[in-house]
Structure 1
Amino acid sequence: MSRNVSSSSVLIENPSVKFSSAPERPPLRHLGRPSLRRSASDTRRRARGEMPRVLLLVPSYTRVVEPSPERSSFRTLGLDTFEVMKRAGTPIGLLRIAAGARLAGFDVGIVDSPFAGWEQERRVVDLGGGSSLLRYGLDDTQLRALIEDFDPDIVGVQCIYTVQWGNARALADLVKDIDPAIVTVTGGSHPSGDWQYAVPDSPYDHVVINEADQTFTALLQALTEPDGDIDAVPGIAYRRTDGAVVRTTARSPWFDLHLAEIRKQGVTEVLIEDDHLLHDPLYAMSVCELLRKHDLPWVDDAERRNPNFRNILAAMRSGLTCRALIKAMADGGCYSVYLAVQSANEDSLVESGKPRLNAFQQATGEIVEMFTEYGIQVTGGFMPGFVNPPEQPGGEPYIESLEQIEKTIDYAVTLMGHGMAYANPFIVTPLPGTKMWDFQKDYVVRHYDNGWSHEKATMATDKWSAEDIERMRLELLVRANGPDKVTEMVRRGTWPVDA
């Protein structure tokens, strides 16, 4: 049940908690407690002339290793084991919010656990049937030592993958084991999109929703300053003492300041482009109030399905060609690109809100040839397994057939003939907080936190099983790339993209 608490927050009373971590995991020890509204330790730290300490973490990750599917292309190659790839990347989000927090005077540290413990891996869950969930990154002993040594007042944990939410929850539990008075905060794609379940179903005191560059610093200040007010921080969610979840709306003061500044610069009206006002009506109301405050009339351009194409058309009218752009990329040092081709089926693309241009095979083949001509390696991305909501309530959903996926496999093979270096298929996986997420949950047959990801199917329909989609993905890998490349990929654990 949801209702307005005030003009600046939303309350969810008695939030229902859906599964968000594997049942084989140990139960969490610090669930259900009211969110901390103050950092108790920062007062003592300030008394010593020190600034509050903030530790930002990427949790250790898990992945599935299991027998290859029966009757799959991997079995034909003699690859009897399938492994979800390991991954680690520069934590841009944490670096951005750390920069803002440091400018505000906070003492900030960052630990990227998967990268720091890349070579460490061990089995944490036996999934049965020869399948295992492996954990890589720093272990709990190492993480505990790092946290205790840094002695933080506040710990922030990034969770950008739904499949790693269980690891993020477990890390918050570890922090609370060390000291329940440490304030825990999480953000990233999963908790942002699924905050109404992430808040009651984890030991985190606060979830920062969506962009956190300024919100996180505002939250730190509210937690550590004598007159700090959590409810004045826009775009966060937390638990009240009665268990209800409060989300403050993102009526941000910086947007107010931005409008004031552009008004000074002579802007007389605003164009709101490619938006959906009913996605978050409370936020839309706050935007309207600010526009009225600054006397900025506005026009809605949402009926234009692809406003970004205007830039492409303008570039074409000015005489810019695709070849000239690709040459400029090569001259600038680009040696590899990733083309999100996705599907050979226009219906699959259009029904999911993606551009149908991706399915124009002749044009895409010519672009691949141009990149190759200028020495730029092309990896093509493909997505089998579209399951899309009906256009009208009560209508039939769109479910991509296995025959349509076969066309995408043929498309990948064709583009390899045009010079594409690798074909990289990822199974369609819903993103938290999107329309697809809410709709596709009804098709989920596997638990997200068991390590399933866009390399492992989570959904099944009356047209195909999860195993069918996995076999189709492996078929695309082998038919498009060839046995040698796939074998090398498995050996390395990632694509061999060379400069």
Structure 2
Amino acid sequence: MISRKIERILLIQPPYDILRIEPKTTQPPLGLAYLAAVLEKDYEVKVLDAVVEGFENEQVIDREFKRYGLHFDDIKREIEKFNPDVVGVSCLFSTQAENSHKVVNLAKEVNPDIITLFGGAHPSALPELVMEDGNIDFVIIGEGEHTTRELLRALETGSGFLALDGLAFRENGSVKVLPKTNYIQHLDGLPFPARHLLLMEKYFKINTPMGTTTRRMPNTCLSTSRGCPANCIFCSIHTVWGRKYRPRPPENVVNEIELLIKEYGVKELQFYDDNLTFDRARAFQIFDEMIKKRLDLLWTTPNGVAIWALDEELLRKMRESGCYKISLGVESGDDYVLHRIIQKPLNLKKVKPIINFCRKLGMGIDAFFVVGFPGETKEQMEKTLRFARSLKVDNLSVTLATPHPGTRLYEICQKENYLRPGFNFKVIRSRRGQIDTPQFTAKEVEKMVSRVNFISRLELVFRSPVAFYERVVKRLFKEPKFFMALAYETIKKMFSLGGR
């Protein structure tokens, strides 16, 4: 194998395609920032987040979709200017696969000798499919810091790839896949994300983080753990982080928080963990240290917390340390669906007492529910919607079961031929039904979901005007076109005829 000299590495977050009824969001790409922090010790590294750098640019693609971020011509010019030896492209979601492939193609147009890497949840779930694109040289499967570093060393020394872990490549004209088996056990051995390579001031100014609203600026996100031992039918996060829970030590987390305050003046945080409170003792220690150090921060949990780990003592500590809003992934109000279909380890009897205590502490409450699973009946869905409304939370989010590649849901739908006609990766959206079963059609479920989300917003006006202002009014003024499109879509679906 011929060795390659590698000096410059360009990591790219492609522009986003979204439904015209979806809001624009942007936040620092922590995955690329972690990777950059590891690689910059040995190489010159640049991170190009096309989403934030071209956030103002919007392009209507068709009746349903629009794109925002840097234009592809601008991305090509950035590749030419930096003249990289390696281009790594992020593809977090299957919905963004088309744009990620386009960026890889641009890199090869600039210089066919550029080594191209593809990483994220989509290629980790479907490495063989992704490698059908001849412009992709390597797929990084799962978390990428160590695998990418070792791959680059192998390329520089010409030592081959078979000893690596979590990699797809071509060998003798066929695709070779080395599964991900080794995960980073001591996450405090990783440097903090290379935020100095990102346009942090622009993220602060735009202030539209994914999945939440904010109260203070500047604010930003961080992650304190990886991996989830739960086996929920709809979740694909294990394709990247694995199933074992791997937490960072509390002192390491608090050190990063103090750095964010010192370097960027951060006043609010979003913890993007999938399970911030999974290890109760560790979570308690983090919050306790935040209080002892008088960090004076507000914080939220957009991805939700492990409800089964919550109790009154921990919630008090969360509130005291600055948590003003909590997100709870309940998923279903029907025990059979929750435990036998979704397979989420949650006792529904615990939900209302937790919500009532959060309300007593003055914490805002977001609750997430999902309906439309194979094996679920319309009666069970209605039961979930009644339970969801009975909670009277500040933000109720009901979405449709979404068959992401890498999930058991996707496998079941493929096997049973439940995927809606015309299904493709671009249409995998939580607001779009993609599953038709003998019990229901996607159209019927869309109508149910539109109705309950619309009613919950109306109820919020009277129950919690402050929450309504933060969740709806502030965003209305920021993105009026999005709200007009969403209102039209919701009303159309509510009053459309159901049917099979």
Report if TM-score (shorter chain) is over 0.5.
yes
In 2 relative to 1, CA 87–472 (structure 1 residues): closer, same or farther, beyond 3 Å?
A: farther
Task: Tell me the distance in 2 between the aligned counterparts of 1:149 and 1:206.
Answer: 23
Residue aligning to 2:360: 373
Paired position in structure 1 for 2:382: 406
Check conservation: 2:118, 2:138, Cα contact below 8 A: yes
- Given that residues 118 and 137 in structure 1 are in contact (C-alpha distance below 8 angstroms), is that contact kept between their aligned partners in structure 2? yes
Residue 311 of structure 1, CA deviation: 6.8
**Which ranges in structure 2 are unaligned for 5 or more consecutive residues?**
186-227, 232-276, 285-308, 462-467, 484-500
Counterpart contact for 2:150–2:164, Cα < 8 Å = yes
Measure, in 2, the Cα distance between the counterparts of 1:448 and 1:336. 35
Distance 1:178 1:366 in 2: 59
Q: Deviation at 1:134?
A: 1.0
Deviation per residue, 1:146-199 (Å, 9 max, x gap): 111111111111111111111111111111111111111111111101112111
2:55 — aligned with what? 118
What is aligned with 1:58?
13
Match in the other structure for 1:382: 369
* CA displacement, residues 396-437 of structure 1 (integer Å, 9 cap, x when unaligned): xxx212222112221121111xxx210012221233223332
Change (3 A) 1:156 1:118: same
Using the alignment, how far apart are the partners of 2:95 and 2:458 within structure 1? Answer: 29
Mark the CA change 1:358 to 1:342 in structure 2 (over 3 Å): closer, same or farther: farther
Structure 2 partner of 1:218: 150
Partner of 1:481: 457
Q: Tell whether 2:354 aligns with 1:349.
A: no
**1:232 matched to 2:163:** yes
Is 1:437 aligned to residue 369 of structure 2? no
Distance 1:275 1:402 in 2: 26
Q: Unpaired segments of 5 or more residues in structure 1?
A: 1-36, 43-50, 66-82, 256-272, 277-307, 388-398
1:17 alignment partner in structure 2 = none
Q: 1:202 to 1:434 in 2, by over 3 A?
A: farther
Distance in 2, Cα, partners of 1:216 & 1:60: 23
Report if aligned partners of 1:169, 1:202 keep a CA contact under 8 Å in 2: no
8 Å CA contact 2:310–2:354 kept in 1: the answer is no
Matches within 5 A, 1:239-278: 239-242=170-173, 244-250=174-180
Superposed displacement of residue 250, structure 1: 4.2
**Residue 240 to residue 122, structure 1, CA distance change in 2 (3 Å):** same
Kept after mapping to 2: 8 A contact 1:155/1:185? yes
Task: Tell me, yes or no, if the aligned pair for 1:413 and 1:479 is still in contact at 8 Å.
Answer: no
Output the amino acid matched with 2:103: L
**Per-residue Cα deviation, 1:229-277 (whole angstroms, up to 9, x for no partner):** 22332210013342x210124465988xxxxxxxxxxxxxxxxx9699x
What is the DSSP-based 3-state SS (H/G/I as helix, E as strand, rest coil) of the residue aligned with 2:36?
helix
CA contact (8 A) 1:343 1:358 kept: no
Distance (whole Å) between structure 1 residues aligned to residue 358 and residue 102 of structure 2? 44
Match in the other structure for 2:69: 137
Whether the aligned pair in 1 keeps the contact of 2:403 and 2:428 (CA below 8 Å) is no
Match of 2:91 among 159, 167, 182: 159
Amino acid across the alignment from 1:450:
K
Structure-2 change in CA distance of 1:210 and 1:352 (3 Å): farther
The 1:207–1:38 alpha-carbon spacing in structure 2 relative to 1, beyond 3 Å, is: farther
Distance 1:56 1:115 in 2: 14
Q: C-alpha distance in 2, partners of 1:95/1:310? A: 25
- The answer to whether the Cα contact below 8 Å between 1:165 and 1:449 also exists between their aligned partners in 2 is yes
Which residue is 1:261 aligned to? none
Which structure exhibits the higher relative contact order, with contacts defined as CA atoms closer than 8 Å and separated by 6 or more residues?
Answer: 1
- Equivalent pairs counted in the alignment come to 357
Matching of residue 427 in structure 1 with residue 400 in structure 2: yes
Could you say if the C-alpha distance between residues 229 and 253 of structure 1 is closer, same or farther in structure 2, counting changes exceeding 3 Å? farther
Offset at 1:121?
A: 0.8
Q: Is the 1:456–1:470 contact (alpha carbons within 8 Å) kept by the matching residues of 2?
A: yes
Question: 1:118, CA displacement in angstroms?
Answer: 1.6
Q: Which residue of 2 aligns with 1:94?
A: 32
Q: Which deviates the most, 433-442 or 190-199?
A: 433-442
C-alpha contact 1:119 1:137 (8 A) present in aligned 2: yes
TM-score, length of structure 1 as denominator length: 0.65
Is the Cα contact below 8 Å between 1:345 and 1:404 reproduced in 2? Answer: yes
Residues in 1 aligned to 2:64 and 2:82: alpha-carbon distance in whole angstroms: 33
Instruction: Report the counterpart of residue 207 of structure 1 in structure 2.
Output: 139
Q: Does the 8 Å CA contact 1:236/1:249 hold for their aligned counterparts?
A: yes
Paired AA for residue 362 in structure 2: G
Structure 2: distance between partners of 1:458 and 1:140? 29
Measure, in 2, the Cα distance between the counterparts of 1:115 and 1:477. 29
Superposed displacement of residue 39, structure 1: 7.6
Correspondence list, 1:7-22, <5 A: none
- What's the counterpart of residue 111 of structure 2? 179
State whether residues 118 and 139 of structure 2, in contact with CA within 8 Å, keep that contact through their aligned partners in structure 1: yes
Q: Is the 8 A contact 1:39 1:181 kept in 2?
A: no
Aligned match for 1:191, one of 118, 123, 130: 123
Q: 1:328 to 1:253 in 2, by over 3 A?
A: closer
Distance 1:347 1:476, change over 3 A: same
- 1:184-228 deviations in Å (ceiling 9; x for gaps): 1111111101112111146311111112121111112122x1333
Q: Does the 8 Å contact 1:163/1:451 carry over to 2?
A: yes
SS state at 2:64 partner: strand
CA contact (8 A) 1:344 1:358 kept: no
Give the deviation of 1:449 after TM superposition.
Answer: 3.5
| TM-aligned CA distance change 1:481 to 1:408, over 3 Å | farther
Q: Letter of the 1:431 partner, please give it.
A: H
For 1:39 and 1:62, the matched residues in 2 are separated by 38
Letter in 2 for 1:414: S
Q: Write the letter of the residue equivalent to 2:39.
A: A
TM-score normalised by L of structure 2: 0.65
Q: Which residue of 2 aligns with 1:463?
A: 439
- Per-residue deviation, 1:451: 3.9
Structure 2 contact 12–87 (Cα < 8 Å) conserved: yes
RMSD (Å), alpha carbons: 3.1
- SS in structure 1 at match of 2:391: helix
Q: Which amino acid in the other structure matches residue 232 of structure 1?
A: A
